[in-house]
Chains A and B, each alone.
Chain A
Amino acid sequence: MTLQVSLKHRFAGFDLDVAFEAPSGVTALFGRSGSGKTTVINAVAGLLRPDQGHVTADGITLLDRSRGIDLPPYLRRVGYVFQDSRLFPHLTVRQNLLYGRWFAPKGPGVSFDRIVELLDIAPLLSRRPGTLSGGEKQRVAIGRAILCNPRLLALDEPLAALDEARKAEILPYLERLRDEVRLPILYVSHAMAEVARLANTVVLMEAGRVAAVGPTAEILSDPDAAPGLGLREAGALLTATVAAQDEDGLTRLDCAAGPLWLPKVAAPLGTSLRIRILAQDVMVAATRPEGTSALNILSATVRDIRHGMGPGTLVRLDAHGETILARITRRSAEALGLTPGKPVFAVLKAVSVAQESVGVKRA
C-alpha cells in the first residue's frame, strides 16, 4: 500500500511544489518550520485545497483537481493526530477513542482492546481530557486516530508541544505502533532524533520543494542532504542487535560494521535496534589508534568526501556494508590524505551515543 502525493499551491510569498511517493511504514516529512510540511499533510487530509494536486492512497483517489475530485475530510479517512491533540472536552477518554468508530465502515480494523493495550491507556478510559497530562492526551489522540479505521495516519509534529521527558515517554509507543499496526504513517517533524528513530522513509523538504527522498539511513548519511538536515544533525543510522550486557554496565551491540559498546541499553538480548551516530561524534584515523580511551574502533574505507563552505568536511565511510558519516575539518582531511577507497578507522566514544537516539526496531 502506497501513498502518492503531488501538490502545487501558491501562498502569498511562498510556493509549494512537491511530489513524492510514500511506501508503507513511517514516512517522515522533515524540514525547517515554514518549509511546507504541514501544508502537505493538510492537503492529504483534505483540510486545505491546493491549487493543483493529486493524492491517491491504496489506489483510491482522494484528490485530483484536474478531474474535479476532492473528497471532503470525513470521506478521506486520514487519521490525523494534531500537535495540540484536540480531544473532545465533553467526552470521556473512552468516548473520544470510540468517536471515529461511529462513522468508520464496518470491517477488520484494529481492535479497541489492542490499541488500549498498545498505548497503555486503560487506566485513563473513564477520565476526561481536562484531567490528562500532555503526554497522556497525545497517546489518546493517537489511539483515537487509529480507531477510526483510517487508510493512513497523518501526524503533525505530535511531540512538538511536549517537554523532553514526555517525548521520551511517547516515542516507544510510536515505535510499537509502527511495527504492529500495518498502516502507512505520514509523520511531520523538525526533530531529527524523532525521524531517526521512527522513519522508514524520509522526505526532506526545503522552502516548499522536496530536496531529497529515500530510505532514512540513506538520506541521513547523505552528505548532499546534510545542509538541509542541519550539519549538527547529519549522521548515520546503523541497525544492530543486542549481543551482550557486560558487568560494568556497557552493552555490546553487533552490527555489520563490527561490535559496538554503548552505555547500558535496557533491551533483551537479540533485540534489533537502530542507532543514530552523529557525524560530529565520529573521528577518523589513518592507522588503528593505540592507547585511546575510545572503545569503538571500526575499520572502514572512505567512500566520498564533501567539503563544506567553511572549514568543515563530511567524510562518508563504508564499514563492511554500513555507512558511517564523519564530520571533520578540511585541514585534518588533507593531513590524513583522505581519498575515496583509502582504508581508515572510524573512532566513536561509547558515551557519545545518547540514549534517546537508540530506538527499538522489530522485525
Chain B
Amino acid sequence: MTDWLTPNEWRAVALSLRVSFWATLVSLPIGLLVAYALARWNFWGKQLLNGLVHLPLILPPVVTGYLLLITFGRKGTVGQYLDQWFGIVFAFRWTGAALAAAVMAFPLMVRAMRLAIEAVDPKLEQAAGTLGASRPWVFLTVTLPLILPGIIAGAILAFAKAMGEFGATITFVSNIPGQTQTLPSAIYAFLQVPGGEGSAARLVWIAIIIAMAALLLSEWVAKAVARRISGQ
C-alpha cells in the first residue's frame, strides 16, 4: 500500500496522524473542563483564562512556537524540570509536535464545547437533581449526552487543525524527518528542493482528503447526535 508514497512521504503522513490523534485525545478532558468553567462558573480571572485560551488563535504561530520553546524547551522554564523530574522531553520530539498542535487547536475545541454547554438548559440538570442524581451523576447522565455533538465537533475540528499546524510546530520542534516532520512541514521541505514537486503534490492531495473527510464526518456525527438529542 505504501508503493505510491516514498518512505519519507509515508513517514510524514503517519507522524501527522499520530501527532494529531494524541494532541486531540489529551486536550479533550482539559478542553472540556476549561469550556465548562468558562460556560458555567464565575471566578476571578475568568476573562484572563478566556484570553489565554484564545491567544494561539490570534498570535502569529511563530510567536506561539517561540513561547513554547522557551517554556517547554530542554532549558525552558518548565521543560527543564519536566526533564529532570520525569524525564519528559518535548524539544525536537514528536511529543513536542503534538504539544504545539494541541495548543494551536485548543481554542477551536474549547469554543465548540463551550457553545454546546451554554445551550444546555440548567433546568434539566436541576430536574435530574430532584430525581436523586448527585452532581457527578447529573453531569454524566444529562449534561454529557446533551453536549456530545459539541464535543465531537470540537474534537474533529481540533484534529483537522492539528493536521495542518505548521508555524508553531516548525518553530518549536524544527523539521526532522521521522521525528517532527509532519505533513505540512514535509510539503514545505519538498518544495525547497529541486524535483520535490511530485512529492509535495501527493502530500497536498492527502492533506485535502483528510481535511474534507474530517469536515464531512463531523457534520454527519453532529447531525445524527443532534437529531437524537432534540428529542424527536
The answer to whether B231 touches A128 (Cβ under 8 A) is yes
Does B51 reach chain A (CB closer than 8 Å)? no
The answer to whether B132 touches A100 (Cβ under 8 A) is yes
Per-residue CB proximity of B123-161 to A under 8 Å, as 1/0? 110111111111001000110011000000000000000
Q: In whole angstroms, what is the CA distance A203 to B142 when docked?
A: 35
Per-residue CB proximity of A81-114 to B under 8 Å, as 1/0? 0101011111000000001101110000000000
Does A72 reach chain B (CB closer than 8 Å)? yes
Give every chain B residue within 8 A of A148 (Cβ-Cβ). 131-132
CB distance from B127 to the nearest CB of A (A): 4
Q: In whole angstroms, what is the CA distance A148 to B133 when docked?
A: 10
Contacts A128-B231, A130-B231, A131-B232 given; does A99 touch B128 at CB 8 Å? yes
Does A14 reach chain B (CB closer than 8 Å)? no
Q: In whole angstroms, what is the CA distance A151 to B126 when docked?
A: 18
Main secondary structure on B side of the interface with A = helix
Sort chain A's interface into a size bin. 20 to 34
Contacts A103-B133, A104-B132 given; does A130 touch B127 at CB 8 Å? no
Give every chain A residue within 8 A of B123 (Cβ-Cβ). 82, 84, 86
The answer to whether B146 touches A90 (Cβ under 8 A) is yes
User: Most B CB atoms within 10 A — which of A78, A89, A131?
Assistant: A89
Q: In whole angstroms, what is the CA distance A216 to B210 when docked?
A: 70
Does B229 reach chain A (CB closer than 8 Å)? yes
The answer to whether A87 touches B231 (Cβ under 8 A) is yes
Enumerate A137-159 residues with CB–CB distance to B below 8 Å: 144-145, 148
Enumerate B188-232 residues with CB–CB distance to A below 8 Å: 228-232
Q: In whole angstroms, what is the CA distance A131 to B227 when docked?
A: 12
Give every chain B residue within 8 A of A99 (Cβ-Cβ). 128, 131, 133, 141
The answer to whether B124 touches A72 (Cβ under 8 A) is no
Give every chain B residue within 8 A of A102 (Cβ-Cβ). 132-133, 137, 141
Give every chain A residue within 8 A of B141 (Cβ-Cβ). 99, 102
Q: In whole angstroms, what is the CA distance A5 to B231 when docked?
A: 37
Sort chain B's interface into a size bin. 20 to 34
Partner of A131, one of B130, B131, B133, B231: B231
Does A47 reach chain B (CB closer than 8 Å)? yes
Give every chain B residue within 8 A of A90 (Cβ-Cβ). 145-146, 228-229, 231
User: Most A CB atoms within 10 A — which of B126, B131, B145?
Assistant: B131
Q: In whole angstroms, what is the CA distance A215 to B230 when docked?
A: 44
User: Most B CB atoms within 10 A — which of A72, A73, A80, A144?
Assistant: A73
Give every chain B residue within 8 A of A219 (Cβ-Cβ). none
Which A-chain residue is minimally distant from B145 (CB atoms)? A90
Does A45 reach chain B (CB closer than 8 Å)? yes
Give every chain A residue within 8 A of B130 (Cβ-Cβ). 45-47, 73-74, 76, 78-80, 145
Does A129 reach chain B (CB closer than 8 Å)? yes
Give every chain B residue within 8 A of A72 (Cβ-Cβ). 129, 134
Give every chain A residue within 8 A of B134 (Cβ-Cβ). 72, 74, 103
CB distance from B56 to the nearest CB of A (A): 33
Give every chain A residue within 8 A of B230 (Cβ-Cβ). 89, 130
Q: In whole angstroms, what is the CA distance A3 to B141 when docked?
A: 31
Give every chain B residue within 8 A of A276 (Cβ-Cβ). none
Which B-chain residue is minimally distant from A137 (CB atoms)? B231
Q: In whole angstroms, what is the CA distance A79 to B133 when docked?
A: 12
The answer to whether A74 touches B232 (Cβ under 8 A) is no
Q: In whole angstroms, what is the CA distance A87 to B230 when docked?
A: 11
Per-residue CB proximity of A42-71 to B under 8 Å, as 1/0? 000111000000000000000000000000
Give every chain A residue within 8 A of B124 (Cβ-Cβ). 86, 88-89
The answer to whether A74 touches B133 (Cβ under 8 A) is yes
The answer to whether A47 touches B132 (Cβ under 8 A) is no
CB distance from A281 to the nearest CB of B (A): 40
Q: In whole angstroms, what is the CA distance A130 to B129 when docked?
A: 21
Q: In whole angstroms, what is the CA distance A188 to B224 when docked?
A: 39
Q: In whole angstroms, what is the CA distance A173 to B62 when docked?
A: 68
User: Most A CB atoms within 10 A — which of B128, B142, B230, B231?
Assistant: B231
Partner of A77, one of B126, B132, B142: B132
CB distance from B132 to the nearest CB of A (A): 3
Q: In whole angstroms, what is the CA distance A103 to B142 when docked?
A: 14
CB distance from A78 to the nearest CB of B (A): 6
Give every chain B residue within 8 A of A46 (Cβ-Cβ). 129-130
Give every chain A residue within 8 A of B129 (Cβ-Cβ). 46-47, 72-74
Q: With contacts A74-B137, A76-B130 known, what are 12 further pairs, Cβ within 8 A?
A: A46-B130, A73-B129, A74-B129, A74-B130, A74-B134, A84-B123, A87-B231, A103-B134, A128-B231, A128-B232, A145-B130, A145-B131
Task: Name 15 interchain pairs, CB-CB below 8 A, sorted by A.
Answer: A73-B126, A74-B129, A74-B132, A74-B133, A74-B137, A82-B123, A84-B123, A88-B142, A89-B124, A89-B230, A103-B133, A130-B231, A130-B232, A145-B130, A148-B131
Closest 10 CB pairs of A and B: A130-B231, A103-B132, A89-B231, A100-B131, A80-B130, A86-B127, A73-B129, A129-B231, A130-B232, A128-B231
